[in-house]
Chain A
Amino acid sequence: AQTVTQSQPEMSVQEAETVTLSCTYDTSENNYYLFWYKQPPSRQMILVIRQEAYKQQNATENRFSVNFQKAAKSFSLKISDSQLGDTAMYFCAFMKHKSGSEKLVFGKGTKLTVNP
């Protein structure tokens, strides 16, 4: 079974600064997907970024980028130029590749607060 661990329950950052959220996972699969989802107080889970394990290049989406270390089973999220609207819970998630299932395995989340 897959497990996802987020070791930082809470983090804070000043507006315009950079912050990195950590995520490690455990799996025996070779091909899989990793995700970062954001859940603001509105409760809606919003996809931030997605990484395919068979791609060595780290995914980026505007101010969001990941550092994917497959051998170390590490998948951290870097948020550059933090904005007040980035305040939210952030969840790291794992999905098997081509498994016939969309099942996501989530970490416990990191509560990020961006301070003005």
Chain B
Amino acid sequence: KAGVTQTPRYLIKTRGQQVTLSCSPISGHRSVSWYQQTPGQGLQFLFEYFSETQRNKGNFPGRFSGRQFSNSRSEMNVSTLELGDSALYLCASSLNVGAEVAFFGQGTRLTVV
């Protein structure tokens, strides 16, 4: 069974641009969560989706948004990029809400210049 797949693996963007990251969960998994990882702040929760509905949201500005499609694939979007958005963005999938085990992808490394 394939694991969590995140695309692209690496991305370089300019300040002010927008970016879309993609996450395909493990087959059959319906819950997807996103995390931002930086050296200074560590791993911070962005948001969580289940059955195309956002169930939980972290403390990030409205420039960060996401969605989930009917096949459970998820995208996150960051608009008006800032230098501080440079980070590793990790996606995790779970079988269902309450499954209590999350499996992570390899992440997308975003660099804003």
Contacts and interface: CB of A to CB of B under 8 A. Distances in A.
Interface of A: 33, 37, 42-47, 50, 91, 95, 97-109
B101 interface: yes
Q: Secondary structure of the B side of the interface?
A: strand
Chain B interface bracket (under 10, 10 to 19, 20 to 34, 35 or more): 20 to 34
Q: Secondary structure of the A side of the interface?
A: loop
B26 interface: no
A102 B43 contact: no
A42 B92 CA distance: 16
Contact of A102 (B48, B105, B109): B48
Contacts of A109: 42-43
B45 interface: yes
Contacts of A44: 104-107
Given A43-B107, A45-B90, A100 B42 contact: no
